[in-house]
């Protein structure tokens, strides 16, 4: 999951969001030196963050040991669902988050992962929220999206840090 974030599309995670993400990873027990260094950055410069994210991508690739990494938008979408499952917001608010992510993914095709399709469906549900109760469909969609993130891999604070940093 860390690898998918570190190797995601350029500019999708704000430079100033990386220290907060790294801080949450440290609190979850990640002791990689690059994560600790990134968490300790005060006022991060773009060049400094870029260099650290390259190091993070290299370190996380080694940790994968040849296993496939999840795709960036699958991870982000899964974090919306996990935040919902852990009580950060309700089903309707989650669809509003999906709608915001849709603006970032609207030009992507299905080859970018299942998360993009789930985000599109969530945007569609948000569009009809004023006409009927979308909670049952939103719950089913969020349960599917929750499968995109490994069990017990993230907490609410990490989900929120990532979602706040994605632009």
Q: Which residue(s) pair with 13 in the sheet? A: 166
Q: What is the DSSP letter of 12?
A: S
Tell me what pLDDT residue 110 has.
73
Q: For 51-78, what is the mean pLDDT?
A: 94
Residue 132 in this model has a pLDDT that exceeds 90: yes
Tell me what pLDDT residue 112 has.
83
Lowest mean pLDDT among 80-89, 91-100, 104-113, 131-140: 104-113
* pTM score: 0.94
Q: Which two tokens stand for residue 124?
A: 């569609």
Torsion of CA 121, 123, 124, 126, to 10 degrees: 130
Lowest mean pLDDT among 47-51, 121-125, 139-143: 47-51
Tell me what pLDDT residue 93 has.
98
Q: For 29-37, what is the mean pLDDT?
A: 95
Q: For 24-53, what is the mean pLDDT?
A: 92
**pLDDT tens by residue, 97-116:** 999 999 999 999 877 889 99
Residue 8 in this model has a pLDDT that exceeds 80: yes
The residues near 140 (Cβ < 8 Å, ≥ 6 apart) are none
pLDDT band at 10 (very low <50, low <70, confident <90, very high): confident
Q: How far apart, in Å, are the Cα atoms of 53 and each of 37, 60, 83, 167?
A: 11, 10, 24, 16
């979602």: which residue's tokens? 163
Tell me what pLDDT residue 136 has.
98
Residue 43 in this model has a pLDDT that exceeds 80: no
pLDDT band at 145 (very low <50, low <70, confident <90, very high): very high
């Amino acid at each position: 999951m860390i690898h998918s974030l570190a190797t995601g599309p350029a500019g999708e995670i704000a430079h100033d969001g990386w220290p907060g993400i790294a801080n949450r990873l440290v609190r979850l027990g990640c002791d990689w030196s690059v994560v600790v260094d990134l968490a300790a950055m005060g006022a991060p410069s773009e060049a400094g963050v870029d260099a650290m994210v390259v190091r993070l991508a290299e370190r996380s690739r080694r940790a994968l040991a040849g296993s496939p990494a999840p795709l960036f938008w699958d991870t982000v979408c899964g974090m919306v669902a996990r935040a919902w499952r852990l009580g950060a917001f309700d089903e309707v608010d989650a669809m509003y988050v999906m709608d915001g992510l849709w603006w970032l993914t609207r030009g992507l095709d299905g080859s970018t992962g299942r998360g993009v399709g789930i985000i599109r469906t969530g945007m569609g549900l948000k569009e009809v929220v004023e006409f009927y109760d979308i909670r049952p469909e939103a719950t089913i969609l969020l349960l599917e999206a929750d499968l995109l993130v490994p069990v017990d891999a993230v907490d609410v604070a990490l989900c929120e840090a990532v979602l706040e940093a994605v632009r």
